[in-house]
């Protein structure tokens, strides 16, 4: 066997701890499979006294993560996170020092991926990031290698386990958004500040990376239309189920003749779709290619074990001596700026929830406004309500252009009979 692959690890939280433990427990088997051992030669984390359930004795400790770039490691594993700050600084410093990098930092790659890719490619270094998207699901390798013969038409999926857990619990138990979020936080599935998960930011970062790999464009989170799940109510979940759908935070990028449409938003997904049955904190990704057709990958999207598994897959490729190759499938200089298409160009069906005063002619007014916009109603329901209380109206439409639907909803919102803003959710067939 050749000399061990020397690795420095920054960040010893859930993922970093699992990585160190798996490397320790499976050292011999990994060495046999990779043709050389993988050895941790330095670590860094904020709290040295914290117990991580693994023996770190004898491994040099660095209080400043950026110092790992100056060690004798061949590869730096960055598990700190953040588009800016110590983790980002370490990745840049490591590449500048001639060290390959494995990272789970989707924000960094989405925001600064092209500059880092140029740096890595100029030096012939690896910049690998399987763990940055969908946890243990090997979607990066699938797009960059397994599906390389395909012209990818679309990539869509459930990319945020926290939001999926919340929506699943709301459907399974009838819990409110607030109650389901509190449960996710108590289980460690949501941060104390869950904003990036529930407002779609986390999924948008991941989608920008997948769109780059799928379509050869510069990753650009600003090109992703983003809408979160905080406005989804128990009534929406129940109504969707009765109509034959589940509500999911869907991320989708699709190739169009004039650009790429990228969006993250709640959607009604039919029960016949495999995405409808992705529950809890699981993730799933569906890729449509001109040769392969539809490929579906599903599994744990977060957590120590699944994410550490993805990190180790990247380390194993480096240990085996595989060539670095372009970071995003094409050389960084050949990635095209993403021509972002407006969501107004989408065409599809919609779910619309209205809360109105219980008085005559309100339903007629709603139908008139939609009819004048040439939006055709498919189904309409009025859930039970108490007398004298505002009435909730739930309806679905036939296919309509988003711009037309937006204009109709704006007119509805201005109607004096409405007691709160309308809630519009897209239906994905």
8 Å CB contact between 136 and 307: yes
Q: For residues 351 and 236, what is the distance between their CA atoms, to the nearest angstrom?
A: 9
Sheet arrangement for strand 5-10: 38-44, 5-10, 75-78, 100-103, 127-128
Beta bridge partners of 252: 156, 263
Rounded Cα distance between 31 and 1, Å, is 8
Pairing of strands 127-128, 100-103: parallel
Tokens of 273: 């779709």
Compute the distance between CA of residue 134 and CA of residue 139 in angstroms, rounded to an integer: 7
- Contact by Cβ (8 Å): 117, 144: no
Of the candidates 204, 199, 210, which has an alpha carbon nearest to the alpha carbon of residue 285? Answer: 210
| Residue 282 to residue 279: CA distance in whole angstroms | 6
> Does residue 206 have an active-site annotation?
yes
302 φ, ψ (degrees, to nearest 5)? -160, 180
- Single out the catalytic residue among 6, 50, 141, 206: 206
Quote the CA–CA distance of 311 and 266 in Å, as a whole number: 29
Q: Which DSSP string corresponds to 44-91?
A: E-S-TTS--SS--TTS-B-SSGGGGGGSS-SEEEE-S--SSSHHHHHH
Residues noted as catalytic:
206
């Amino acid at each position: 066997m050749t000399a061990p692959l020397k690795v420095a690890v920054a960040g010893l939280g859930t993922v970093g701890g699992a990585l160190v433990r798996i490397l320790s427990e499976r050292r011999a088997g990994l060495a046999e499979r990779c043709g050389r051992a993988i050895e941790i030669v330095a670590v860094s984390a904020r709290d040295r006294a914290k117990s991580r359930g693994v023996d770190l004795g004898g491994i040099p400790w660095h209080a400043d993560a950026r110092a790992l770039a100056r060690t004798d490691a061949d590869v730096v594993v960055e598990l700190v996170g953040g588009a800016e700050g110590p983790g980002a600084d370490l990745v840049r410093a490591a590449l500048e020092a001639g060290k390959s990098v494995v990272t789970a930092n989707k924000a960094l790659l989405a925001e600064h991926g092209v500059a880092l890719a140029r740096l890595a490619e100029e030096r012939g270094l690896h910049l690998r990031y399987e763990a940055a998207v969908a946890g243990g699901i090997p979607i990066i390798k699938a797009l960059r290698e397994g599906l390389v013969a395909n012209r990818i038409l679309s990539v869509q999926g459930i990319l945020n386990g926290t939001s999926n857990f919340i929506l699943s619990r709301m459907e399974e138990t009838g819990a409110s958004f607030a109650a389901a979020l509190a449960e996710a936080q108590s289980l460690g599935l949501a941060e104390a500040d869950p904003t990036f998960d529930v407002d779609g930011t986390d999924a948008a970062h991941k989608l920008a990376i997948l769109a780059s790999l799928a379509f050869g464009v510069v990753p650009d989170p600003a090109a992703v239309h983003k809408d979160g799940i905080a406005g989804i109510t128990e009534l929406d979940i129940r109504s969707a189920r009765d109509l034959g759908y589940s509500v999911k935070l869907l991320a989708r990028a699709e190739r169009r003749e004039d650009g790429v449409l990228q969006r993250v938003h709640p959607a009604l997904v039919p029960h016949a779709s495999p995405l409808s049955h992705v529950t809890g904190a699981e993730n799933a990704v569906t890729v449509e290619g001109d040769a392969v057709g539809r490929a579906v990958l599903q599994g744990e999207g977060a957590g120590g074990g699944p994410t550490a598994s993805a990190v180790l897959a990247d380390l194993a490729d480096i240990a085996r001596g595989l060539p670095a190759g372009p970071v995003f499938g094409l050389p960084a200089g050949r990635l095209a700026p993403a021509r972002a298409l407006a969501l107004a160009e989408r065409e599809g069906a919609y779910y619309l929830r209205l809360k109105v005063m219980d008085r005559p002619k309100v339903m007629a007014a709603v139908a008139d406004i939609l009819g004048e916009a040439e939006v055709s109603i498919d189904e309409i329901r009025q859930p039970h309500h108490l007398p004298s209380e505002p009435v909730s109206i739930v309806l679905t439409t036939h296919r309509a252009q988003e711009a037309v639907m937006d204009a109709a909803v704006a007119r509805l919102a201005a109607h004096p009979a409405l007691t709160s803003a309308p809630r519009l959710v897209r239906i994905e067939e």
